[in-house]
Amino acid sequence: MERTLVLVKPDAVQRGLIGKIITRFEEKGFQTAGLKFLWMDEKKAGRLYEPHFGKAFYEPLVNYMTSGPITAMVLEGEKVIEQVRNMMGATNPQNASPGSIRGDFATRIDHNIVHGSDSPESAQREIPIFFEKAELVDYTKDISKWI
Ligand code: UDP
Ligand code: MG
């Protein structure tokens, strides 16, 4: 089954939105494979945002993402990568549709509250930055046949 990395970013943690954001994905029907609360260091943030290295927003982005603790999760489901991206909304919350997470909870691109892998290749690269293999749990929920 497809897996993706989701991060509840430092601004969302500070604003008390961890539960609300997790609830969106839980209610949608995705299965949680991994979940942790941590404070990223610069090294981790650098690995995560390596594809953006050298861009104008890179340094402010690393500062933002290391400015406080985050919640990291791995979600599992059919087409979960694309569906999570749709649920997150546009990168710039000013263009994100109402009803999307960024559309409903954020107003600025530099405080856009949530991260989700953008492709299977990104998910494969990003998940191991936060989770060891043994920290990801394989299981079947009895309710999954109803989702
Ligand atoms: N970002 C920013 N300014 C920009 C573009 C991106 O601050 O002009 C930040 C923003 O937090 C975004 C992250 O950098 O979520 C990664 O950018 P990307 O284009 O990968 O957007 P995402 O995949 O998060 O939607
Ligand atoms: Mg991205």
Query: From the CA of 15, how far away is ligand 2's center (Å)?
Result: 22
2-137: CATH topology is Alpha-Beta Plaits (3.30.70)
**Cα separation values, 50 from 62, 71, 124, 133, 145, Å:** 10, 20, 14, 22, 38
Q: Is position 115 annotated as part of the catalytic site?
A: yes
* 101-120 pLDDT, tens digit each: 999 999 999 999 999 999 99
Rounded to the nearest integer, the mean pLDDT of the chain is: 97
Tokens for 101? 């997470």
Task: Please compute, for residue 42, the number of CA atoms within 13 A of its CA located in the half-sphere on the CB side.
Answer: 5
Pocket-testing residue among 4, 62, 109, ligand 1, by greatest number of atoms within 8 A of Cβ: 109
* 22-51 pLDDT, tens digit each: 999 999 999 999 999 999 999 999 999 999
Give the SS3 label for residue 59. Answer: helix
Please indicate whether residue 112, judged by its CB atom, sits closer than 6 Å to ligand 1.
Answer: yes
Overall size of the chain counted in residues: 147
DSSP E strands in the chain: the ranges are: 3-8, 31-38, 70-76, 114-116
Whether the full predicted model's pTM is greater than 0.85, yes or no, is yes
Among candidate residues 45, 65, 115, 130, the one labeled active-site is: 115
